[in-house]
C-alpha cells in the first residue's frame, strides 16, 4: 500500500494524504458478522467522562472478529479483504470448509485465495494460528494472548508485530513493538506474520474535519485555561510557572512513572 497525495484543488486538500485502497476487494461487509455499536462518548456506566476528547464521529458498525480462534484444525480460505472503520488494519473474511464465516486481521503477504488454519500442530506460515510452544524461535507474530484463553490482546494495530526471542520452562520471551521484553505462557496462542497497512501512521489528516469524523474532539492546552480548571492555567500572559507537566488533576505526565503494580514477567521495560 502507498500514500496518495491528491491535487490541491482547494486549501483543505493541500496537506491531506490518503491510503491506497486498491487492496480492498469488496465494500459490503458480511451481514451475519456485523452488529450495531453504541458510542460511549468516553463515559463509563455512571455517565462520568473517563476518556477525554471523545465524541461524535461517523456512524460505525462493528465487525465481529475471530477473537478466540474457535475453528481449530479446520482449513479456511480468504475470500475478501475489507475496510474496518473500527481499526487501522484491514480485515479478511474467512470461509471454513465447514461453512463457518469469520473475520481475521490481515497480515502482510496474505491474499485472497490463500488458505489458513489454526491448530497445535499446523505449519508455522503467515496467517496460521498456533500456541507459542509450537512456534519456532525467531518468528514474528501478532494478535498474541496475554493469558491462555483470553483472546488476542497484543500487537493488533497496523504494521505491528512481536518477535519470539526465546523459550524456557513454561514461558516464552517476547520482544514487544515498544521495545519491552516480557514473558508470556507457552499455552497462549498467536498468529504468524506482520500486520499490514503499515503506512497508516504516515497519513497527514490535513484538516480538523477528518479528525472529528474519527470521533476525536479538540484538545485545549492547560496553559490556555484558568487556574481552577488546570494546574498550568492562569498568569499574566504565557506562563509555565516553573511547574512540571501535569494532568488537569495534578498527576505528573510526560515521563512521570505512574505504574504501582510490578510484574515479574517483564524483563526489560520500554523505558530504561
pLDDT digit string (tens) for 90-126? 999 999 999 999 999 999 999 999 999 999 989 999 9
What's the pLDDT at 69? 58
What's the pLDDT at 67? 58
For residue 180, pLDDT over 90 is answered with yes
Specify the pTM.
0.88
Domain 3-201+264-268 has CATH 2.40.50.140: yes
pLDDT digit string (tens) for 25-44? 998 999 999 999 999 999 99
Tell me the C-alpha distance between 162 and 152, whole Å: 13
pLDDT digit string (tens) for 239-267? 877 889 999 999 998 888 877 888 889 99
Amino acid at each position: 500500500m502507498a500514500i496518495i497525495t491528491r491535487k490541491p484543488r482547494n486549501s483543505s486538500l493541500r496537506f491531506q494524504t490518503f491510503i491506497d485502497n486498491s487492496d480492498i476487494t469488496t465494500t459490503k461487509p458480511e451481514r451475519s458478522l456485523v452488529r450495531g455499536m453504541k458510542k460511549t462518548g468516553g463515559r463509563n456506566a455512571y455517565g462520568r467522562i473517563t476518556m477525554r476528547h471523545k465524541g461524535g464521529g461517523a456512524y460505525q458498525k462493528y465487525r465481529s472478529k475471530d477473537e478466540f480462534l474457535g475453528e481449530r484444525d479446520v482449513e479456511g480460505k480468504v475470500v475478501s479483504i475489507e475496510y474496518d472503520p473500527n481499526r487501522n488494519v484491514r480485515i479478511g473474511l474467512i470461509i471454513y470448509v465447514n461453512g463457518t464465516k469469520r473475520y481475521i486481521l490481515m497480515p502482510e503477504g496474505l491474499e485472497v485465495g490463500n488458505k489458513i488454519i489454526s491448530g497445535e500442530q499446523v505449519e508455522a506460515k503467515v496467517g496460521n494460528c498456533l500456541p507459542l510452544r509450537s512456534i519456532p524461535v525467531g518468528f514474528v507474530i501478532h494478535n498474541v494472548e496475554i493469558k491462555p484463553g483470553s483472546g488476542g490482546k497484543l500487537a493488533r494495530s497496523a504494521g505491528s508485530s512481536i518477535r519470539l526471542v526465546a523459550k524456557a520452562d513454561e514461558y516464552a520471551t517476547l520482544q514487544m513493538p515498544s521495545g519491552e521484553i516480557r514473558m508470556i505462557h507457552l499455552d497462549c496462542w498467536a498468529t504468524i506474520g506482520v500486520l499490514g497497512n503499515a503506512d497508516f501512521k504516515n497519513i497527514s489528516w490535513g484538516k480538523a474535519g477528518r479528525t472529528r469524523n474519527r470521533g476525536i474532539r479538540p484538545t485545549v492546552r492547560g496553559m490556555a485555561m484558568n487556574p481552577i480548571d488546570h494546574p498550568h492555567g492562569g498568569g499574566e500572559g504565557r506562563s509555565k510557572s516553573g511547574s512540571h507537566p501535569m494532568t488537569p488533576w495534578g498527576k505528573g505526565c510526560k515521563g512521570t512513572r505512574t505504574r504501582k503494580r510490578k510484574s515479574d514477567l517483564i524483563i526489560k521495560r520500554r523505558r530504561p
